[in-house]
Amino acid sequence: MRVRSFALRLNGHTYQDIGRLLGVSRQRIHQLLKPPSAVVEEIRKRANYRCEQCGLPGRSHHVHHRLATKGQEDTFNDFENLQYLCPSCHRKAHLMELATIKVSNI
């Protein structure tokens, strides 16, 4: 299931879409694809526990994949592809991704 989830994510599907396609929850897909805990902690430290977009301090922000597209299989969970974002900036990043996907499908 992890390999199939990964392939779908790199083809532009959201966690919710993948969950629907595979008959599991969005949360389960997130668990399968998220970076290891040690990597997440290093990303937090690198950002000094501040959102890398707006600078808001916080310890419960999200780790975001900058690139999650086909061809990024080897770098999906690399430090350079991950950034620490507050919930607001993380939401905005995903909205921008969805808008880009929709425009490219026109």
Report the distance separating Cα 101 and Cα 1, nearest Å: 24
Measured in residues, the chain has a length of 106
- 50 half-sphere exposure, CB direction, 13 A CA radius: 7
pLDDT computed for residue 88 by the predictor: 95
Q: Say how far residue 41 (Cα) sits from the centre of its chain.
A: 15
Q: What is the pLDDT along the chain (106 residues), one digit of tens a residue?
A: 888 988 888 888 888 999 999 999 999 998 888 888 999 999 999 999 999 999 999 988 999 988 776 666 677 788 888 999 999 999 998 887 766 555 454 5
